[in-house]
Structure formats: C-alpha cells, structure tokens
A and B are shown apart, each in its own frame.
Chain A
Amino acid sequence: MSVSSETSVEDAVICDADFHNTVEIETLLEYVEDARVERKVRTFGVPRQSSPWSPNYARKVEDGFHALGRARNREEIVEAKASMSVDTVVVNPNLGSTLSASQWDVVKTELVRAYNTFLIEELADPSAGIYGTVLLPQWDVEESVREVRRCASHDGVVGAQGYYTGTVRFGESPFDALFDELTARDLPLALHGGGYSLFDRLQTYNEAVTFEWPSMAIVNVLNMIFSGVFDAYPTLTVLLQEAGVNWIPFVANRADEMYQTGPDDVQFTERLFERDQTYLERLPSEYLFRNFYYTTQPIALPNEGRHAEAMLEMCDAENTFVFSSDWPHSTTDLPTWLFENPKVSERMRRKICHENAAEVFGL
C-alpha cells in the first residue's frame, strides 16, 4: 500500500479488518450442492444461533445487525466502505457468527462451503479493495483444513475465519492440523465472537455484549498460550476481532504473575506433554504481544487523555491494533476516533489504519 497524507479520514489509507457483508439465503442456496440441505434451508432457513438474548430489547432500532445497511455484493460493499472513507475491507459475514453457535453440523458445513464458494467466485476482488477470510467449519477440523486448501489460493482470500464461543477451545490439539495448514501458507487465523453462552443469569443484553465476548476471547487466548500453541507454531498469527482491547494489560500482567507462581501444570497439556516440554518458551505476555493482533472495535478508550495514552501504550497499540468498524451493526466504530484523539500519534494512526493490517493479511 502506498501512503499519502494521513491527517484526515478522507486522505488516509484505511483498512477495515472486521466488516460484515450480508448473505441472503437465496444467494447462499445457489452454492449449496446437497439437495437435502438445500430443501431444509430453503424451508426453514439457516440454523439459528442458540442465544438467550434478543439484542433488540436493548435498542431503539428494529434490526441492529443491519443498522447501517446491507452489503450483499461487490457494488454494495464498495458503497459501504466509501461511506466510512475506508479503502480496503476484509469481509466476514454475519452468517459465520450465527453458524458458530448453532446446531446441525452437517448442514452448517455445507453452508460454510457454499459461502466460501460465493466469496471466491463473486465477492473477493483485490482490485476493488475487497478481501475475505475463508470460513472455517471449526466443529470439524479436517473439513476446515479442506476448505483452506480449496480456497486459499484465491488472491482475495487473506486468512481463515473462526469464532470464539463459549464451547470452542482453540488450544486443543486437534486444531494442530489447521495450524499446520495456516502456518505453511502464512495465513492468519481471524477469530470473531460468536453467540452468547458463557454465563447464566445475566439480566441485560448490556452485560452480555460488554462482558461475554471479551471473556470468551480471553478464555481462548489463554487456552492457546498455556497449551503451547505458539511454541509449536511460533509464526502463527491470530487476529482477535470484536473482543475489546482494554483487558490486554490485565491479562498480560495477571497471566505472567500466575505462571510464575504455578507453572508446573503446563507440561500436562496435550501438546506440551507430547513435545516433552516442561515450561513455555516465553512468558505468557510475550505471546499476547507477538502472536496476537486485536481489531479496534469496540475501542472504548478512557475519556481522560492521560488514561487513554497509558491504555494505548500498555496495549502496545502501535504494533498490535488493527482498525475495524463492525459495519453495519449498531455498534459500529467509524475511523474518526483515530484522527480526533490527540493521544493517537501520526505513526500510531498509520499503523492502526493500514500498516498492521497489511502485515497481518499480507496485503
């Protein structure tokens, strides 16, 4: 990417690493090959997310998932990114989040295949600034590897898309087959929130959306670190999407503190046990800042300037943050905050706006 003036949203080069396209059922069905799945989905729709929450109870809008519109094809994606002065998007569909927390694995796998075909045949277009991540049927690692092999050679595919949910643990060793494939291809693993299922007895959607996704992300981050994923795959890059960022300093410091207090059970995790490895090769926080990147939405920086500055520094934002909008959801962050907050330096802005994304995705 070339760099011009970076002083305004309009002039800056901006890549959005968490942009949601909409896939309508009729479009998806064009790519479904299995007749049984096609009939069932045509009649009853995509398997519904098993969530106890109706977000609309917390909002004044009827459809918060599409509060800013629907981008169903290349032309609409181009229009949407122009509305935010964004140059490049890495799309992942609402569909993926839904499927990550719903039932009927065979149906879901077929729908994931259908979406990926749609992505590479109709959507991804580097010349239009549209890239995508290949959806992983993460409930079936072998099939996930097959999907990566089938789609990754398309030049618009820049990563693999999984979802941190209440039930998945990406540190478990069956995922090694996926990590083998991704590291061999130098592809990042993007992980987005999916479903709400970690905690019972919450009373409001605000509790769920504020806390559940960061919590599920943290569970998976620590699971991957302490089970030695990054010792086995030191070049694996994970992009956490919509997980929040303000927890990073706490987790870094607490994980290091705990690890030094009680490091002796990491050897009994499956991967390290097989490697005959007693301890991690690094402190937990080092993996947090070496192997992970974090998309910025929801940024939720402190209002007080010195606190915001400290937060950005403690997160190593310049080297770990990747801009994201979450368009078109009612929680969308526009890139304006990067240009208005005096604690964001020009260098930090440039890196967050596009340089870190270029590094993660190899753009």
Chain B
Amino acid sequence: MPTVVLGSSEEFPEGEGVPVSVDGTEIAVFNLGGTFRAILNNCPHKNLPLDPAGSHQLGAVLGAVDEERCTIQCPWHNLEFDLESGHNPVLDRALPTFDVTTNDADEVVLEY
C-alpha cells in the first residue's frame, strides 16, 4: 500500500479538518484528539467539501466533529458521516475513508 506524508501533526489542529489532495483525490483529514481519520472530501448531498467541519465562522461552529463517536457533520447541511466506515445512515451509503497514522517524526502519513 503506497503512503504519502501529509505534513507535521502540528499542521492538523484538534477537532478540525484539513483538506489535502493526493494524486488528484480530494481528502479531508481530521484530528480526533491525536488520532487521525481521513475521508473523501466531498459530501454527496450538495457536492460540497467536508473539511470545514468543526471550523468557526462568525460565532458559529460549522457542522460538528465528534471525537467520541468518531463522526463529522457536513459543515453546510449537517449530513453525518462515520469517519471509520464513511457510512451515512440517511443515504445508507459510505464515502471512501483512508487509513492515517503518524510516524516516528510525528508526521501524518496517509495510506492510499
């Protein structure tokens, strides 16, 4: 399985998403309390990016990142996705997810 170093773990703030592009595939990487999860960065509801989930804008938190349940809500219209399986219970379909680890240099590494 090929891997790619996405950057230092410090570049991935807790509770927020970071967009990365790997070989043309747009991926959102989330830091859940030091554990990293990655999911295709495209909500099928309105074809909008998921990575702003958990970010702040004008007094609001866009969508949500739930560390305990390992889920995110789409920042635009709140469709929920399990970050381990990519599954959404409303559509009963799953977005692709990707394995993410950290290496000895404390870098975030994505398998694809």
Q: How far is the CA of A119 from the CA of B79 in the complex (A)?
A: 35
Task: Fill in one digit per residue for A326-338: 1 if any B CB lies within 8 Å of its CB, else 0.
Answer: 0010111110110
A residues in contact with B58, CB < 8 Å: 68-71, 76, 79-80, 328
Docked complex Cα distance between A44 and B47 (Å): 42
Q: Of residues 70 to 97 in B, which have CB atoms within 8 Å of A's CB atoms?
A: 73, 76-78, 80
Query: Taking the complex as formed, is B59 at the interface, i.e. its CB lies under 8 A from any CB of chain A?
Result: yes
Q: Is A332 within 8 A of B76, CB to CB?
A: yes
Q: Compute how far the CA of A66 lies from the CA of B76 in the bound complex, rounded to whole angstroms.
A: 11
Main secondary structure of the interface of B (DSSP, over half): loop
Contact: A334 with B57, CB < 8 Å?
no
Residues from chain B with a CB closer than 8 A to the CB of A330 are 77-78
CB distance B59 to A70 under 8 Å? Answer: yes
Complex interface: chain A residues within 8 A of B80 (CB): 60
Structural contact, B47 and A336, CB atoms closer than 8 A: yes
Instruction: Tell me, in angstroms, the Cα distance from A252 to B77 when the chains sit together.
Output: 31
B8–chain A nearest beta-carbon distance, Å: 27
Also in contact, A67 and B73, with CB within 8 A (given A60-B80, A61-B78, A336-B48): no
Q: Is the CB of B78 within 8 A of A83?
A: no
Q: Does A340 contact B (CB under 8 A)?
A: yes
Q: Does B1 contact A (CB under 8 A)?
A: no
Given the known interface contacts A59-B78, A60-B73, A334-B76, the answer about A66 and B47 at a Cβ–Cβ threshold of 8 Å is no
Q: List the A side residues contacting B27 at CB < 8 Å.
A: none
Q: Is the CB of B48 within 8 A of A66?
A: no
Chain A nearest Cβ from B29, distance in angstroms: 21
B59, B62, B64, B77: the one contacting A331 at CB < 8 Å is B77
Kindly state the separation between the CA atoms of A75 and B73 in the bound complex, as whole angstroms. 28
Residues of chain B lying within 8 A (CB to CB) of residue A340: 47
What are the residues of chain B within 8 A of A66 when measuring CB–CB?
A: 59-60
CB contact under 8 A between A67 and B48, given known A59-B78, A330-B78, A331-B77: no
Closest-by-CB residue of A relative to B60 is A69
Query: Nearest Cβ in chain A — how far from B98, in angstroms?
Result: 24
Whose C-beta in chain B lies nearest to the C-beta of A340?
Answer: B47
Once A60-B80, A330-B77 are accepted as A-B contacts, the answer to whether A67 and B60 lie under 8 Å apart by CB is yes
Query: 8 Å CB contacts to B: which residues of A64-118?
Result: 66-71, 76, 79-80, 83
**Chain B residues, Cβ within 8 Å of A61:** 64, 73, 78
- Cβ of A162 to closest chain B Cβ, rounded Å: 27
A203 to chain B, nearest CB (A): 18
Chain B: minimal CB distance from A38 (Å): 26
Contacts of B78 in A (CB 8 A): 59-61, 67, 330
Min CB gap B65→A, angstroms: 13
Given contacts A68-B58, A80-B58, A336-B47, 14 further A-B contacts (CB under 8 A): A60-B64, A60-B73, A61-B64, A66-B60, A68-B76, A69-B60, A70-B58, A70-B59, A79-B57, A328-B60, A330-B78, A332-B76, A334-B76, A337-B46
5 contacts between A and B (CB under 8 A): A68-B60, A70-B59, A70-B60, A330-B78, A340-B47
